[in-house]
Structure 1
Amino acid sequence: MNATLAVAAAVAFCWLGMVLAISFIEAPLKFRAPGVTLQIGLGIGRKVFRALNSVESLFAAVILVILLTQHPSTPITVAFAVAILALAIQLLAVRPKLTQRSDAVLAGLDAPRSTAHYYYVGLEAAKVIGLLVAGILLLAG
């Protein structure tokens, strides 16, 4: 594996670790912590996910440059495309709906639960699978 593809593997696993740690560990646990109200949890969550999505966007850009310059195998490209597409859908379609609801809750309104959260989690799972497959394929050489 050349150095550039090694960087792609490192980015894939770093991105994967961040998604697993934040989306599947931190996010659900924060609401179980003593004294954390829905409003506090949403406020923290918005900041954490804004930061996560910013880093993810940077990782996606790095991966896109590598894909365009190195032309890895089709399975690697498809796996990365799944992760990048899932991120794009989250940022462009799902997060705005989640922001609407959290804005209402933070303003003190009794907003109904949103199904957008389930789409976000499903897209997180798609990212996990895409990144894991891409990383493994890169390491397998």
Structure 2
Amino acid sequence: MATWWTALQLLAPAFWLGAVVAISFLEAPLKFRAPGITVPLGLGIGRLVFRALNILEAVVLVVLWIAALAAPAAPATAMWWLLGIVTVVLVVQVAGVRPVLTKRSDRVLEAGTDLPRSNAHYVYVALELVKVIALVALLAVTADALL
């Protein structure tokens, strides 16, 4: 049973990191460069994709907490801190920043025109960078402690 929890502690943050990098740093900026993609269409796609990403992130986060709590050996203190960081970042993104971005995209969709980029976009990207760094550190700490 110990290997199952070890595998989850290593694979879950790696999977999460891959999803964030693929969506936030590849798909999101590239979708508006695709031929025929209008701002309203891109916003609609972005809403769906980021909603799905955030749900996936929440599920992976719960799995990580369960794996850390159920592991036979106590995880390193740094692992708890990093789990706390990614938890806080995700909560702030979902509960604090995404509603602001949703209101902005509603205004864009109603007006039928693009608006200047809001500061909320920059906050969201900054939080994504913090999350990526924390997930990489979590992987390193976990691998060091478990392998």
TM interval, shorter chain, is over 0.9
CA contact (8 A) 2:76 2:141 kept: no
Shift of 1:84: 1.5
Amino acid at match of 2:132: V
Matched with 2:52 is: 51
Q: Which residue of 2 aligns with 1:40?
A: 41
Superposed CA RMSD in Å reads 1.5
Report the equivalent of 2:81: 78
How many residues are matched? 141
Separation of aligned partners in 2, 1:85 and 1:121:
15
The letter of the residue matching 1:95 is R
Matching residue within 101, 107, 110 for 1:107: 110
**Does the CA contact (< 8 Å) of 2:5 and 2:70 recur in 1?**
no
Match of 1:61 in 2: 62
2:67 partner amino acid: I
> How far apart are the structure 1 equivalents of 2:112 and 2:30?
24
The separation in 1 between residues aligned to 2:7 and 2:87, in whole angstroms, is: 18
Tell me, yes or no, if structure 1 residue 129 matches structure 2 residue 133.
yes
Percent identical pairs in the alignment equals 45
Segments of 5+ residues of structure 1 without an aligned counterpart are none
- 1:1-46 Cα offsets, whole Å, 9 max, x none, are 7431321110000000000000000000001111111111100000
Matched, 1:19 2:23: no
- Report the AA paired with residue 91 of structure 1: V
Scaled by the length of structure 1, the TM-score of the pair is 0.92
> Is the CA contact (8 Å cut-off) linking 1:9 and 1:139 kept in structure 2?
yes
1:95 aligns with 2:98: yes
Query: In 2, are the aligned partners of 1:79 and 1:130 still within 8 Å (CA)?
Result: yes
Contact 1:77 1:134 in 2 (8 A): no
How far apart are the structure 1 equivalents of 2:48 and 2:121?
A: 16
> Contact 2:82–2:138 (CA<8 Å) still a contact in 1?
yes
Q: Is the 8 A contact 1:39 1:105 kept in 2?
A: yes
TM normalised by structure 2 equals 0.89
Structure 2 gaps, min length 5: none
